[in-house]
Amino acid sequence: MIDFSIATGWMLAQMAKDGCLYQDDVVDYLVRGNAESRCRENSDGNLVVGTKLLEAFRKQTEPHVVWVKPDRYWRYRVTEDEPGREARG
């Protein structure tokens, strides 16, 4: 099973490589690595990144990365972003 440090390391590497990271890509990575326990099911019945993994990723990226909720991905913060973790796009 993929532990938190390996998963967050992979997430950080993907951010550095692509400049963004889609939640679906993280879920696919976890499923392929037999780590579905690092996911959870949301209210729509879809697999999403689990809370503990999200917390670990947030701690490592808090000031520099924002979540774009409508498109379900993380990207690096830009000067136009408002304070907080969520961005508009």
pLDDT tens track for 9-59: 999 999 999 999 999 999 999 999 999 999 999 999 999 999 999 999 999
The domain limits of the chain are 4-81
Distance CA 39, CA 30 (A): 8
Banded model confidence at residue 1, pLDDT cuts 50, 70, 90: confident
Distance CA 85, CA 89 (A): 12
Q: Is the pTM of this model over 0.75?
A: yes
The answer to whether residue 89 scores a pLDDT higher than 70 is no
The answer to whether residue 86 scores a pLDDT higher than 80 is yes
Phi and psi angles of residue 69, each rounded to the nearest 5 degrees, phi first? -60, -45
Q: Which two tokens stand for residue 33?
A: 């690595």
